[in-house]
Amino acid sequence: MALTQTPMQAEAARTIFEKSKPGRRAAVLPDAGVPESPLEELIPAKLLREEPPRLPEVSEPEIVRHYNRLSRRNFDLDSGFYPLGSCTMKHNPRLNERVAALPGHARLHPAQDPRRAQGALELMWLLQESLAEICGLPHVSLQPSAGSHGELAGLLLTRAFHADRGEARTKVLAPDTSHGTNPASVTMAGYESVKVATNERGGVEMDDLRAKLSDEVACLMLTNPNTLGLFDENIAEMAALIHGAGGTLYYDGANLNAVMGQTRPGDMGFDIVHVNLHKSFSQPHGGGGPGAGPIAVSERMEPFLPCPQVVRRAGENGGGPFFDLDADRPKSIGRLRGFQGNFGVFVRSYAYILSLGGDGLAEASETAVLNANYLKARLAEDRAGKHLPVAFDRHCMHEFVLSGKPMKRELGIATLDLAKRLLDFGFHPPTVYFPLLVDEALMVEPTETETKESLDAFADAIERILAEAEGDPDLAKSAPYTTPVRRLDEVRATRQPVVRQAFA
Amino acid sequence: MALTQTPMQAEAARTIFEKSKPGRRAAVLPDAGVPESPLEELIPAKLLREEPPRLPEVSEPEIVRHYNRLSRRNFDLDSGFYPLGSCTMKHNPRLNERVAALPGHARLHPAQDPRRAQGALELMWLLQESLAEICGLPHVSLQPSAGSHGELAGLLLTRAFHADRGEARTKVLAPDTSHGTNPASVTMAGYESVKVATNERGGVEMDDLRAKLSDEVACLMLTNPNTLGLFDENIAEMAALIHGAGGTLYYDGANLNAVMGQTRPGDMGFDIVHVNLHKSFSQPHGGGGPGAGPIAVSERMEPFLPCPQVVRRAGENGGGPFFDLDADRPKSIGRLRGFQGNFGVFVRSYAYILSLGGDGLAEASETAVLNANYLKARLAEDRAGKHLPVAFDRHCMHEFVLSGKPMKRELGIATLDLAKRLLDFGFHPPTVYFPLLVDEALMVEPTETETKESLDAFADAIERILAEAEGDPDLAKSAPYTTPVRRLDEVRATRQPVVRQAFA
Amino acid sequence: MSRYTSATPDDRAEMLAAIGAESTAELFDQVPDELRLNRPLDLPAGMSEAEVYERLAALAERNADAEREACFLGAGMYDHYVPAIVDAITQRSEFLTPYTPYQPEISQGGLQAMFEFQTMMSELTALPVSTAGLYEGPSSVASAGYLAIGATGRRRFVVSRGLHPHSRATLATYSAGFGAEIAEVGLEDGTTDAEALAAAVDGETGAVFLQSPNFLGAVEDVEALGAAARDHGALLVVSCDPMTLGVLRPPGECGADIALGEGQPLGNRLDFGGPSFGFFCGTEKLIRKLPGRIAGETEDVDGRRGFVLALQTREQHIRREKATHNICTAQALNALAATIHLAWLGREGFRELGELLARRTAYARDRLATVEGVELLHEAPVVREFALRLDAPVDRVLDRCAERGIAAGYPLGRDYPEHGDGLLVAITERRTPEQIDALAEALGAAIEAERGAFRSDSGIKAPEGVV
Amino acid sequence: MSRYTSATPDDRAEMLAAIGAESTAELFDQVPDELRLNRPLDLPAGMSEAEVYERLAALAERNADAEREACFLGAGMYDHYVPAIVDAITQRSEFLTPYTPYQPEISQGGLQAMFEFQTMMSELTALPVSTAGLYEGPSSVASAGYLAIGATGRRRFVVSRGLHPHSRATLATYSAGFGAEIAEVGLEDGTTDAEALAAAVDGETGAVFLQSPNFLGAVEDVEALGAAARDHGALLVVSCDPMTLGVLRPPGECGADIALGEGQPLGNRLDFGGPSFGFFCGTEKLIRKLPGRIAGETEDVDGRRGFVLALQTREQHIRREKATHNICTAQALNALAATIHLAWLGREGFRELGELLARRTAYARDRLATVEGVELLHEAPVVREFALRLDAPVDRVLDRCAERGIAAGYPLGRDYPEHGDGLLVAITERRTPEQIDALAEALGAAIEAERGAFRSDSGIKAPEGVV
Ligand SMILES: Cc1ncc(COP(=O)(O)O)c(C=O)c1O
Ligand SMILES: Cc1ncc(COP(=O)(O)O)c(C=O)c1O
């Protein structure tokens, strides 16, 4: 029998609401154990809800099946290679989940008195110290909730820093290769975003940078290696320039996985770094979070760090040290969120740092760079080398960017088609169409936790897809075939958005 | 593009050994922290191993991916309907997993002094009491590890019971519908197995029973409802007969899910009952265990229960009760295994009993019977009613048995074909070819945790398959199509067994 | 070889050969020598899995968590029971490990879950559009400020003092960046001073921020208070506790333009404050101005129903400096936990739970008010949390209760100097009537002891706020 | 509606209508009235999930588990570290919830895992065939007895006193059923008395049972001892601790026909004794006589590699009373845990772990032997467990150590009256040198205190076995 659709495709998507039936339920609640007075006696009727929200009415077995089956409609890192550039899809150790779930962590109330949360505060302090050492910058705030939150924090620090000197600067520079969150954060922090050009080696065009520097410039935001996966050798000069112009130098730490234990943002001259714990430090991505974006800063930025700050104080009466939340920071930019940050993420990342140790982290970066260069070399062979040239041809760091422009011209398939066809081969595609600078970009980040075999299999798949396309480009253009759904109409989802279940 | 195989079929099975590469590893071990003396100094060389076992050499990410992907090649209860007769595939609450994993349970050493394991012993005692109440028999041993172990225990108790009276009986009776473990246990316990015939109502043929009773008969093993899903109304008379002949009456508790809180084996006259905690009491089946098969017994069997027995003793000095392991049982048959039994299973089943309470258990059985009768009614309609008649046409208890004989004759497809075609529809098939009494048997047990919708969908699928078969029986005969592998050569696996990886 | 990598020496040699490099060091040649670290990181050596476990368990041991204490702490995060299926499902690698669903064909699980989440939050708040979630509560409040500027062009916010102090602080931090001025309106007997609010809102006001129940636990009359916003064309932003929306009139029915809040009570553990998620719902009109991911329904080329990230043209990866927000990685897994928890509670259970909380809260408030030295800080209606005044130094009373294994509540003096004697007590379904009685007893004993101590040492002045 | 069911009143009505019954009670008409229970079960009412959790957590709280104590208990089950991936994988519903793989097309995951398990156990024991596992250790020993009768037709077993007391007891229980006589051979300085063994084995002997390391921790010279079995055509059955097989010569190289044992040390938690699994390996000759499931490799109709339950003709569901064993539900999930643990350890790690244990054990034995009042019970080689003699009542010494948070070991007097003063001390990789030193100190202090107590109250007679 010839199949026309896979078993999953045969199963139409049904939401949990569509499985609801009046009177079904999963939860059984405890008895209140107190007088069952009518609600109206407790709360004025006008403040009460009339109709309960139309949550689904389903039994527990149905819930489990529903989400279990849904889960199988996801591709995940624990099932296959996920070389999504700029995302550092490295192995997520289950040990970290285990320690994060210990009741002493998981059921600790964030408003607990610091004297009764010494373990948690010490852990945060230890993580701060570790990140400070890794970044080469003395002070750390763990508060930001993700990379972009860290960026915003860094820009607000910059603003406070300048305000403290009586300056009001208005512009923030970032290369045209920068990640979308950079300019978005710039606007959100009340600055104007200015692009700096990229030179032929993939680094910052120094003349353009010089031209754009002025006393209006508050900050230069970079990532190094940059989003092309290339280390900008001019970093020391850039640092001198921006500092000379009175600005701060911000490091987007999304690419830290290339340099741990090899070189440090602080030593390069950066003032502020954010670290994506959900990238280099193995917090699982969760299908879009949670993460955490701690920032490490230089001495001169320290007074402005968010409140509260975790500090170690000398113990009383010769006892051990005492860990505390310090909110008495007059120059602080203040709070960026509730309580102390994404503590559960800190536990996981600290467990990761303990597991690897200093040497292990250095080796992780080294291997990440080795894997990327190997895969780049494999993709320089044969058809990939011809149709998918690397955008800047030199050793890369932990990732590299290919251009699908020749492929599109020569074979008639776009980067998107290649990506979709890769799905049929069981791979998550690389990041596509980013950085914007590179036409038909494919950004490939294998990470250090992949085997040589999986890199080879990926290179082989690309080769096969290109060979296929030489014969029949439509094969890629209509891909994917084997996924639970095939190409989806994204335009419609934006033009006529349906963003919630409609009820009859 | 027409698919010829599903994505999973395209992925050839590779074992973990085939992913091994010298020098890879996952585990990092602690330093010994003690002198690293050569092993030969500690243990005579002749006692030492020369070559380490050829365990795979793989990294942790590879292990996770390997077993993750393997897992997706399993069908499971949390993904779909699993009406496997005689197996009680009811919902497995995750609460039970959570409480079983509490360190106080999971890391408690079985040789811990009872004074320092009071919580565990009390839990076992509470479970014993609960099972005693459910079974209507005063004494319980939790020791047996599964149903068949319970059967063996019960037969050894019977032997001890008779020996204690100076009798040596040699035969054990069981109906021809009995489960395979029954006669196998009989042989293992040193008895001869004698079959009793089934009457036209699906119950025990009383004349045959009477004819086979004698003072050589040690025991009559039954399950009620029996494996046809039918309650044998003559049970009281049978009990009188076997007791009159000096034998014991054994209850195979695999079908207890039909009768919890409705009727009790003890009240029916049974002397010994085993309970499959992995059936009625929600312990997950684990792909073939673990389970547990506690036995409940009447007063006269009590002296012979296995050792040790969990007992409650009055507290000293007016304190609370003390729970102990009692090994001072001179008439006991002795141990059936190490330590105290499958405690982790006890935790789960006790949590289940606490969750449902007495009423909840009764309602579970009631709903199990309702679901079975409803599905039976649905399958009496249309094509199923014609080609797949129920073997004994009366109200069933928690399961029922159909015969595929007409289907085979009329449509040319066997029960096995129907079962295999059901796989393509996303259902686990019923138990097939059991009980042996029914030609081309299909034994269907929906359990109480299924929705009416899933019963309907199953009935609809059967209808569609039969309709298909009217047109093209080969469709079923060559099924399945969509599973990771298709029909497998089981004969070869027995004739030329390959039961382990070969190394080059 | 470090843990989790797999390149063997042979692999390395083969890979270097393919690259055409002598050593991995060569690959790092692009990093100028003077910038190389050239020494090991000053961090402890790596540890075995068992050792890491022991180390972290030893740290955890030094925290007084809600497994060990009867926890009456709230202030925005609550010790609800998280059903076991939440963990079982969210720990499935298929949900745990993927990135944001950029490739919808292989992310239908996550996308559909987002769509279900949005529907649930939309139902809870009675607003038609929900995003897939932001970081957490207070920063969501700040994000609403950013949205209000974009939507109204006005840079002035009026904020109730009943808004969570962390939300007010975060809004202030963000406002220093995007540029906005904040006017705060005080509380009167527990709820927002309606007159002062009406007076504070003007034609320059971009948004009015309320919270209900507010930080002192009092249920606000949002509809009445919101009139001022409506009248002046300001957005009405209501922060709320989702767990109360089974019983309280939802913001969408009270005229709110935006309803948002801390999502932790729904299916997320305490985790010392995170990760959790912020929910963010709005009117149809605001749909193209909302922050963060939104999943939408669509079809594939074969006409199959499917889900994608919708309205991406709002987002940073498309619009860069013109994006409605800078958020990228959010809190998808935490939102999934909420979705499962809400499905588990279901229509009936969710309301029942709200009622249970309201009744136990009423019981607790009455019970504690009978304790000598305790009185109500306000008389406004409450549903899950309430404020008391203690006639003894709050911190010392808390210490004494902690000795009995009770975290008695949140000392209001941390954030409200005017309530230095205030204690905020939170109730969940895990706080049994017996625990409430034990709290009453502990509070009574602690206050009595403190008063004794105070009397017996008249040299010590009563702390401020304590009579 | 009880928890976990889903039939609403409407569902019930529709279903009854389809059945043609008035009520569900009618469905139970087949149960004679006088057998109906007609009253509620006398069990507590059902509880909410949170309440069940609290209840079970309160029970768990009353156990001194290895998370709280430094656990030197062994005697067949050991406090090894179970890596987190074991839980993560075994808790996946795809492994957790299916039945025995009767439908191989949709059970390839479980079947392949069994095949991998069998390969690993076969490698560990150096015997060519492994089953997919039995219940646990001691009952596997008894099952070997049943096999031996089938294979040799002889009903006499010779058993070393070094065999785990639970194994000897279980073999005896089973033997009372299938009919076999057991002769026990004693120990000499810790190991099986070779001469007595040779004398005990005769032409009627069906099997000789040894354990190495034996219950006292001593490594036996299996090859030498096994000669008696070989000479008389009896099967040599060797029970072993799988965790020692990275360093000890495997049974298959020592002439064993069957190697079996308790599988708990491999990836299974302590669980107060179960569930774990028993492994069972044999020679090629015995393949059709083995008990329990065996997975085998085969092909599907399209030539794809696949796995099935092989050799089912041995089993109860096919052969009924002629089956080689009665086992049906076994311990598949526990065997999977072992498989993952062994893959995680890997070829090198498994050996290293064995060496680590041997070295720490040597250290501990030396260290403890220096304690005043402690001497070695035997001098035979040990690799993970060893026996001491204490010059004070063992139970009281254990109590004193427990007060310091140390479970000092297993009192041999429980099973060996001749060793009333014996203490069996087990080592795992979780028992650090610091803990070993702490044990030495605790033992020393306890013995000293007990001797003091004994001296100061000369009315009390020294317990038997203590000088
Ligand atoms: C280069 C770069 N910068 C910043 C970010 C933003 O980080 P987050 O998603 O944690 O907000 C990303 C994430 O994709 C990134 O790749
Ligand atoms: C009727 C019946 N009896 C006995 C058993 C054996 O139980 P277990 O598998 O727990 O040994 C089964 C299990 O399938 C059964 O269905």
SS3 readout for C138-179: HHHHHHHHHHHHHHHCCCEEEEECCCCHHHHHHHHHHHHHHC
Contact C329 A285 (CB under 8 A): yes
Give the number of the atom of ligand 1 that is nearest the alpha carbon of residue C327. Answer: 11
Q: Which stretch of DSSP H or E encloses residue C240?
A: strand C235-240
Q: Where does the pLDDT of residue A436 fall: very low under 50, low under 70, confident under 90, or very high at 90 and above? A: very high
Q: Is the pLDDT of residue C278 over 60?
A: yes
Convert C346-355 to b/e letters by CB count within 10 Å (16 or more is b): bbbbbbbbbb
Closest CA to C443 of C373, C383, C376, C358: C373
**Which whole number is the average pLDDT over A211-215?**
98
How many angstroms separate the CA atoms of D407 and D427, rounded? 12
In chain D, what residues touch B257 (CB-CB under 8 Å)?
none
* Minimum CA–CA partner of D52 in chain A: A30
Chains touching chain D, criterion 3+ CB pairs below 8 Å: A, B, C
Is B498 exposed, middle or buried (CB count within 10 Å of its CB: 0-12, 13-18, 19+)? middle
pLDDT tens string A471-487: 999 999 999 999 999 99
* Minimum CA–CA partner of B72 in chain C: C94
Contact B253, B272 (CB under 8 A): no
Q: Is the pLDDT of residue B137 over 70?
A: yes
Find the CB nearest D4 among A21, A61, A98. Answer: A61
Q: Is the pLDDT of residue D463 over 50?
A: no
Predicted pLDDT of residue D456:
58
Tokens 């037709």, residue?
D153
Ligand at minimal distance from the CA of A273 is 1
Give the number of the atom of ligand 1 that is nearest the alpha carbon of residue A227. Answer: 1
Contact B402, B442 (CB under 8 A): yes
Q: Is the pLDDT of residue C457 over 60?
A: no
Amino acid at B310: V
Predicted pLDDT of residue B1:
34
Helices (H), A300-381: 343-378
Contact C8 B95 (CB under 8 A): no
* Minimum CA–CA partner of D61 in chain C: C68
Question: Which of D1, D52, D80, D91 to mutate: most C Cβ within 10 Å?
Answer: D91
Q: Where does the pLDDT of residue B8 fall: very low under 50, low under 70, confident under 90, or very high at 90 and above? A: confident
In chain B, what residues touch D400 (CB-CB under 8 Å)?
none
Contact A482 B6 (CB under 8 A): yes
Could you tell me how far CA D336 lies from the centroid of its own chain? 15
Q: Where does the pLDDT of residue A317 fall: very low under 50, low under 70, confident under 90, or very high at 90 and above? A: confident
Phi, psi torsion values for A252, nearest 5 degrees: -80, 110
- Choosing from A88, A221, A273, A276 the residue with most ligand 1 atoms within 8 A of its CB, the one to mutate for a pocket test is A276
What average pLDDT does the structure give for chain B? 96
Is A475 exposed, middle or buried (CB count within 10 Å of its CB: 0-12, 13-18, 19+)? middle
Contact B501, D115 (CB under 8 A): yes
Contact D83 C57 (CB under 8 A): no
Q: Across-strand partners of D360?
A: none
pLDDT tens string A326-381: 999 999 999 999 999 999 999 999 999 999 999 999 999 999 999 999 999 999 99
Q: Where does the pLDDT of residue C240 fall: very low under 50, low under 70, confident under 90, or very high at 90 and above? A: very high
In chain C, what residues touch D430 (CB-CB under 8 Å)?
50, 54
pLDDT above 90 covers a percentage of chain A that reads 96
Q: Is the pLDDT of residue D460 over 70?
A: no
Contact B21 C11 (CB under 8 A): yes
Query: B292: which 2 tokens?
Result: 């547990």
Kindly state if the Cβ of B148 falls inside 6 Å of ligand 2. Answer: yes
Contact C40 A52 (CB under 8 A): no
pLDDT tens string B265-315: 999 999 999 999 999 999 999 999 999 999 999 999 999 999 999 999 998
**Which whole number is the average pLDDT over B399-420?**
98
* B61 CB within 8 Å of a chain C CB: yes
Predicted pLDDT of residue C453:
76
Q: How far is the CA of A254 from the centre of ligand 1 (A)?
A: 6
* B29 CB within 8 Å of a chain C CB: yes
Distance from the Cα of D269 to chain C's closest Cα (Å) equals: 14
How many angstroms separate the CA atoms of A79 and D244, rounded? 33
What average pLDDT does the structure give for chain A? 96
pLDDT above 90 covers a percentage of chain C that reads 94
Ligand at minimal distance from the CA of B178 is 2
pLDDT tens string C143-177: 999 999 999 999 999 999 999 999 999 999 999 99
Nearest CA to ligand 1 atom 7: A147
Closest CA to C446 of C354, C372, C370: C372
Q: Is the pLDDT of residue C108 over 80?
A: yes
Distance from the Cα of C421 to chain B's closest Cα (Å) equals: 39
Predicted pLDDT of residue D452:
86
pLDDT tens string A235-289: 999 999 999 999 999 999 999 999 999 999 999 999 999 999 999 999 999 999 9
Q: Is the pLDDT of residue C378 over 90?
A: yes
Predicted pLDDT of residue B2:
37
pLDDT tens string A24-73: 999 999 999 999 889 999 999 999 999 999 999 999 999 999 999 999 99
**Which whole number is the average pLDDT over A291-295?**
98
* B64 CB within 8 Å of a chain C CB: yes
**Which whole number is the average pLDDT over D427-447?**
98
Q: Is the pLDDT of residue C261 over 60?
A: yes
Predicted pLDDT of residue B463:
98
Q: How far is the CA of B148 from the centre of ligand 2 (A)?
A: 6
Ligand at minimal distance from the CA of B257 is 2
Number of residues in chain D:
467
Q: Where does the pLDDT of residue B3 fall: very low under 50, low under 70, confident under 90, or very high at 90 and above? A: very low
Cis status, amide bond into B225, omega within 30 of 0: yes
pLDDT tens string B32-49: 999 988 999 999 999 999
Q: How far is the CA of B278 from the centre of ligand 2 (A)?
A: 10
Predicted pLDDT of residue C349:
97
- Could you give the ipTM of this predicted complex? 0.97
pLDDT tens string A441-458: 999 999 999 999 999 999
Q: Is the pLDDT of residue A416 over 90?
A: yes
Q: Which residues line ligand 1 (CB under 6 A)?
A: A 86-87, 146-148, 179, 181, 223, 227, 252, 254, 276, 291, 293; C 328-329
Find the CB nearest B423 among D30, D105, D302. Answer: D105
Query: A431: which 2 tokens?
Result: 């990041």
Q: Is the pLDDT of residue C328 over 50?
A: yes
Q: Please tell me the least confidently modeled range out of A129-138, C446-455, D161-170, D175-184.
A: C446-455
**Which whole number is the average pLDDT over A456-462?**
98
In chain D, what residues touch B156 (CB-CB under 8 Å)?
173-174, 176-177
Distance from the Cα of D50 to chain C's closest Cα (Å) equals: 6
Q: Please tell me the least confidently modeled range out of C313-322, C444-453, D404-413.
A: C313-322
Q: Which stretch of DSSP H or E encloses residue B184?
A: helix B181-188
Predicted pLDDT of residue B504:
78
pLDDT tens string B219-228: 999 999 999 9
What region, left, alpha or beta, does residue C4 occupy, with left being phi > 0 and alpha being psi -120 to 50 degrees? Answer: left
Find the CB nearest D430 among C50, C83, C92. Answer: C50
Predicted pLDDT of residue C2:
56
Contact B358 D4 (CB under 8 A): no
Distance from the Cα of D196 to chain B's closest Cα (Å) equals: 21
**Which whole number is the average pLDDT over C404-411?**
98
Q: How far is the CA of A75 from the centre of ligand 1 (A)?
A: 21
How many angstroms separate the CA atoms of A10 and D381, rounded? 63
Distance from the Cα of D209 to chain A's closest Cα (Å) equals: 40
Query: C334: which 2 tokens?
Result: 């935490």
Predicted pLDDT of residue C456:
59
Predicted pLDDT of residue D457:
55
Contact D426, D384 (CB under 8 A): yes
How many angstroms separate the CA atoms of A348 and A92, rounded? 9
DSSP structural state of residue A399: -
pLDDT above 70 covers a percentage of chain D that reads 97
* Minimum CA–CA partner of A59 in chain C: C344
* B59 CB within 8 Å of a chain C CB: yes
Q: Is the pLDDT of residue C465 over 80?
A: no
